[in-house]
Amino acid sequence: MENAEGDWVKANEAEQRVIEEIQQLGQAALQGWANEQNQAQQDQFIQTHPQAQRTRKKALLVK
């Protein structure tokens, strides 16, 4: 019984690691999709509003 109990702990740890990896993979996939959607919306806006100018944040100079 002691060995079987040890196997359960190892199996639970392995399952938790798999769950965490799948969550990270899902997060990365969703982030990639969101970035693509954002870029597509920006491109579409620029095409429909060619007079619009992009602005960038001013770089802060640190001395």
pLDDT surpasses 70 at 2: no
- pLDDT tens per residue across span 14-56: 999 999 999 999 999 999 999 999 999 999 998 998 887 777 7
- Can you give the pTM of this predicted structure? 0.60
Whether 33 and 25 have beta carbons less than 8 Å apart is answered as no
Q: Domain-by-domain residue ranges, the chain?
A: 1-63
Looking at residue 51, what is its pLDDT? 86
